[in-house]
């Protein structure tokens, strides 16, 4: 039974965010966040955030959060948004473009704090300006401002404006990982989208789209050598064959990377991402082959094919260096998985320590345990034992909380508690914290 934990969420729709998964359900409902564990509670940390995407922590009760459409980095200290943003960027925010990803890295020996941002940079002022690139920058935090931007990655943005990805994480190797989607038109209109990184045999050379890229904190190739090849920009790819992703995190026990990936109306995925991982798009999605055609209107049309029990034919492997592996969990009817986080803390109870939490567009926060001792798969029982969620009822047993609306980020704070960002379509986005009921003030 779910326990009511906090008051109403007021959500105001915005046409500037486009998650394909939203279209079936319409606008976000006004809901009450609820939890399934009566020993835990939900606390509202901050509200009034304009279309938030992701967040990062500078310290205890000190949060940076991104406002997608405005291009502003807001700082929240002790639950209060500072009067002025610490950075205001000119972004193009059409559809899924905008200010999209953030990660923080602190050098304890030098005292430097780097803040990494991924966004669709624009020039000019009319309607947010004309997009010029998706870019990854490194900033320095100095005197409460983000200064000295250093361009690390200059990435494509066309045809767009959908599937820009943007989530950033710092790996246990201290390198920067960023997910970049396939960059298609929202309506899948015919465009320049065929690349080898998306498993098109007649595709162009990879250009940074359709994968997870890895560089050092100075923007250099890790160890000076690529996983899939040494040609640039192929040498940046840690993984490829990715349609779009809003979630990356490393298992704190194994150091392995996991991601979430979005399908159109079917084929959402949770994946274990080993170096050189090929997720299979656009040949396979979930467990199904992909049937692709150009329809009478001249638009690209994606349809579900037959289930595949083997490695699909025609996948690009970059001379055997890339390897396809199937998802660890698949959704037939899309739920829109977004952020992913491992709770490397026992502050919410030892039973949750090092478990995986996954946010979704469709209102739910999911909870998974990993198979021991190797932790290369999820503990899935009952109707999920075949690794396919055929209906929404199939995920009831792994639903940890619901009622947040669209969850755009999930992070573990310096205090060891779980933090949730919601309100992708709202002028009143919120940050929540999940903690033991006795700890709520």
Neighbours of 403 (CB within 10 A): 22
Using the CB atoms, write b or e for 88-119: b if 16+ within 10 Å.
ebebbbbbbbbbbbbbbbeeeeeeebbbbbbb
- CATH number of the domain residue 207 falls in: 2.120.10.30
pLDDT digits (tens, 9 = 90+) for 153-180: 999 999 999 999 999 999 999 999 999 9
Let me know if residue 247 belongs to a domain. Answer: yes
Q: Do 318 and 229 meet the contact criterion of CB atoms below 8 Å apart?
A: yes
Let me know if residue 220 belongs to a domain. Answer: yes
Least confident of 260-269, 303-312, 337-346, 351-360: 303-312
Q: Do 6 and 432 meet the contact criterion of CB atoms below 8 Å apart?
A: yes
Question: What is the average pLDDT score of the chain?
Answer: 91
Average pLDDT value for residue range 309-334 = 93
Structure tokens at 89: 């960027």
Is it the case that residue 25 has pLDDT exceeding 70?
no
The pLDDT assigned to 7 comes to: 29
Let me know if residue 385 belongs to a domain. Answer: no
* Cis ω before 203 (30° cut-off from 0): no
Nearest CA among 67, 54, 69 for reference residue 16 = 69
Say which residue the tokens 């009478």 belong to.
296
Let me know if residue 26 belongs to a domain. Answer: no
pLDDT digits (tens, 9 = 90+) for 399-439: 999 999 999 999 999 999 999 999 988 889 999 999 999 76
pLDDT digits (tens, 9 = 90+) for 85-106: 999 999 999 999 999 999 999 9
pLDDT digits (tens, 9 = 90+) for 175-203: 999 999 999 998 888 878 899 999 999 99
Is it the case that residue 1 has pLDDT exceeding 50?
no
pLDDT digits (tens, 9 = 90+) for 227-281: 999 999 999 999 999 999 999 999 999 999 999 999 999 999 999 999 999 999 9
Is it the case that residue 14 has pLDDT exceeding 70?
no
Query: In terms of residue numbers, what domain contains 223?
Result: 46-333+344-351+368-377
Give the angle subtended at the CA of 246 by the CAs of 224 and 324, to the nearest 5°. Answer: 60
Predicted TM-score (pTM) of the model is: 0.93
Let me know if residue 34 belongs to a domain. Answer: no
Confidence of residue 31 (pLDDT cuts 50, 70, 90): low
Q: How many domains does the chain have?
A: 1
Confidence of residue 440 (pLDDT cuts 50, 70, 90): low
**DSSP per-residue codes, 373-430:** TT--SB---GGGTTSEE-SGGGGGGGEEEE---SEEEEEE-TTS-EEEEE-TT-SSEE
Is it the case that residue 388 has pLDDT exceeding 60?
yes
Could you give the percent of the chain with pLDDT greater than 90?
82
The pLDDT assigned to 297 comes to: 85
Let me know if residue 427 belongs to a domain. Answer: no
Is it the case that residue 125 has pLDDT exceeding 90?
no
Average pLDDT value for residue range 366-395 = 96
Q: Do 214 and 239 meet the contact criterion of CB atoms below 8 Å apart?
A: no
Is it the case that residue 214 has pLDDT exceeding 80?
yes
Q: Do 407 and 53 meet the contact criterion of CB atoms below 8 Å apart?
A: no
Could you give the percent of the chain with pLDDT greater than 70?
92
The pLDDT assigned to 308 comes to: 79
Average pLDDT value for residue range 375-386 = 97
pLDDT digits (tens, 9 = 90+) for 54-69: 999 999 999 999 999 9
Confidence of residue 16 (pLDDT cuts 50, 70, 90): very low
Let me know if residue 411 belongs to a domain. Answer: no
Let me know if residue 418 belongs to a domain. Answer: no
């Amino acid at each position: 039974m779910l326990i009511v934990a906090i008051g109403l969420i007021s959500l105001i729709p915005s046409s500037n965010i486009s998650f394909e998964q939203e279209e079936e359900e319409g606008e976000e409902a006004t809901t009450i966040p609820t939890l399934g564990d009566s020993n835990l509670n939900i606390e509202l940390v901050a509200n009034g955030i304009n279309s938030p995407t992701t967040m990062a922590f500078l310290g205890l009760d000190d949060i940076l959060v991104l406002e997608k459409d405005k291009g502003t980095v807001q700082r929240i200290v002790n639950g209060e948004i500072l009067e002025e943003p610490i950075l205001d960027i000119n972004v193009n925010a059409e559809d899924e473009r905008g200010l999209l990803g953030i990660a923080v890295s602190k050098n304890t020996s030098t005292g430097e704090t780097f803040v990494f941002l991924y966004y669709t940079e624009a020039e000019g002022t009319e309607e947010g300006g004309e997009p010029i690139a998706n870019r990854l920058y490194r900033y320095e935090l100095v005197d409460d401002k983000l200064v000295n931007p250093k361009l690390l990655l200059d990435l494509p943005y066309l045809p767009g404006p959908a599937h820009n990805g943007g989530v950033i994480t710092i790996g246990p190797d201290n390198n920067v990982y960023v997910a970049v989607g396939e960059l298609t038109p929202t309506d899948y209109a015919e465009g320049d989208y065929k690349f080898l990184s998306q498993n098109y045999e007649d595709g162009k050379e990879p250009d940074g789209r359709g994968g997870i890229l890895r560089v050092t904190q100075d923007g250099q190739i890790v160890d000076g050598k690529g996983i899939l090849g040494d040609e640039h920009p192929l040498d940046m790819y840690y993984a490829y064959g990715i349609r779009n992703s809003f979630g990356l995190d490393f298992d704190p026990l194994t150091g392995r990377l996991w991601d979430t990936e979005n399908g159109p109306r079917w084929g959402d995925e949770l994946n274990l991402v080993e170096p050189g991982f090929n997720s299979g798009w656009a040949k396979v999605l979930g467990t199904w082959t992909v049937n692709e055609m150009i329809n009478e209107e001249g638009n690209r049309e994606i349809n579900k094919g037959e289930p595949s029990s083997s490695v699909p034919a025609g996948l690009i492997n970059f001379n055997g260096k890339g390897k396809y592996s199937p998802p660890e969990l698949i959704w037939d009817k899309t739920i829109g998985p977004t952020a992913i986080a491992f709770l490397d803390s026992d502050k919410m109870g030892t039973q949750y320590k090092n478990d995986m939490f996954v946010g979704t567009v469709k209102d739910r926060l999911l909870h998974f345990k990993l198979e021991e001792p190797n932790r290369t798969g999820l503990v899935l029982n009952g109707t999920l034992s075949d690794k396919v969620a055929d209906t929404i009822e199939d995920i009831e047993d792994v639903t940890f909380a619901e009622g947040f609306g669209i969850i755009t980020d999930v992070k573990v704070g310096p205090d060891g508690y779980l933090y949730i960002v919601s309100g992708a379509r709202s002028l009143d986005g919120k940050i929540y914290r999940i903690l033991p009921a006795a700890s709520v003030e």
